[in-house]
């Protein structure tokens, strides 16, 4: 089962920032400049952390990963925007 995660980062070096941006974009959807949301399985979360840790400087950069909840979470209740609103797409299971 996948949970919704909010990913935010503060990376001091522009080159490392671009790499973290590409990693986060590969796992989720951008909400703001350095903020993404991602629907991740436990394995995908481990892979995301591994990928980011391989890029950042642990002494000067910072990444925040917040578990918002499972697929039944009410996003409108959990995430609020002030000012310009971003649409949050709810990812549903696709059966083929």
Say if residue 11's pLDDT is above 60.
yes
Structure token pair of residue 34: 């350095």
pLDDT of residue 77: 72
Give residue 53's pLDDT.
97
Q: How far is CA 8 from CA 42, 44, 66, in A?
A: 18, 17, 9
Q: Tell me the β-bridge partners of 23.
A: none
Closest to 88 measured CA to CA, from 34, 31, 7: 31
Dihedrals phi, psi of 8, to nearest 5 degrees: -135, 145
pLDDT score recorded for residue 88: 61
Please choose, from the candidates 57, 56, 7, the residue with its C-alpha nearest in 3D space to the C-alpha of residue 34.
7
CATH of 3-78, one of 3.20.20.220, 3.30.70.240, 3.10.180.10, 1.10.287.90: 3.30.70.240
The domain locations on the chain are: 3-78
Q: What is the model's pTM?
A: 0.80
Give the model confidence (pLDDT) of 23-72 as tens digits: 999 999 998 899 999 999 999 999 999 999 999 999 999 999 999 988 77
């Amino acid at each position: 089962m996948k949970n919704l995660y909010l990913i935010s980062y503060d990376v001091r070096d522009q080159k490392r920032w671009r790499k973290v941006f590409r990693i986060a974009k590969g796992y989720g959807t951008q909400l703001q400049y350095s903020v993404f949301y991602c629907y991740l399985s436990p394995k995908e979360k481990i892979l995301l952390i591994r990928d980011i840790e391989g890029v950042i400087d642990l002494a000067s950069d910072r990444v925040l990963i917040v578990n918002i909840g499972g697929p039944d979470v009410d996003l409108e209740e959990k995430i609020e925007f002030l000012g310009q609103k971003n649409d949050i797409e709810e990812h549903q299971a696709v059966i083929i």
